[in-house]
Homo-oligomer: A and B are copies of this chain.
Amino acid sequence: MKMSHELDRLRQEVDEVNVKLLELLSKRAELAQAIGEVKKAQGIHRFDPERERDMLNWVSEANPGPFDDKTIRHLFKQIFKASLDLQQEDHKKALLV
């Protein structure tokens, strides 16, 4: 079945959103690395559960939908976890130098 023009248009919009999501996720990863560096230099523990809880609370409050709060929190938790893993990898590499 031939895809409609409307479906093509929507998929093109999804592709554009994917490009921006990839940019933002990469930007967030860079910031996580920079924060890891600053914390290391200051001898602060890398994981801050209070900061993570604050961000998740903000996400729930600001969520405009249509994803429900549970879904949006799940997605952000995955992003936070990936960022933390990245900081910890950098830390391990630094210890091996």
A20 to chain B, nearest CB (A): 6
Q: Which 5 A-B pairs have the closest CB atoms?
A: A29-B67, A29-B66, A17-B28, A10-B35, A71-B82
Chain B's nearest CB lies how many Å from the CB of A73?
Answer: 11
* Cα–Cα, bound, A93→B79 (Å): 30
Set of chain B residues within 8 Å of A1, measured between Cβ atoms: 42, 44
Residues of A at the B interface (CB closer than 8 Å) are 1, 3-4, 6-7, 10-11, 13-15, 17-22, 24-35, 38-39, 42, 44, 51, 55, 58-59, 62-67, 71-72, 74-76, 78-79, 82, 85-86
Q: Which residues of B are found within 8 Å of A76, using beta-carbon distances?
A: 18, 21
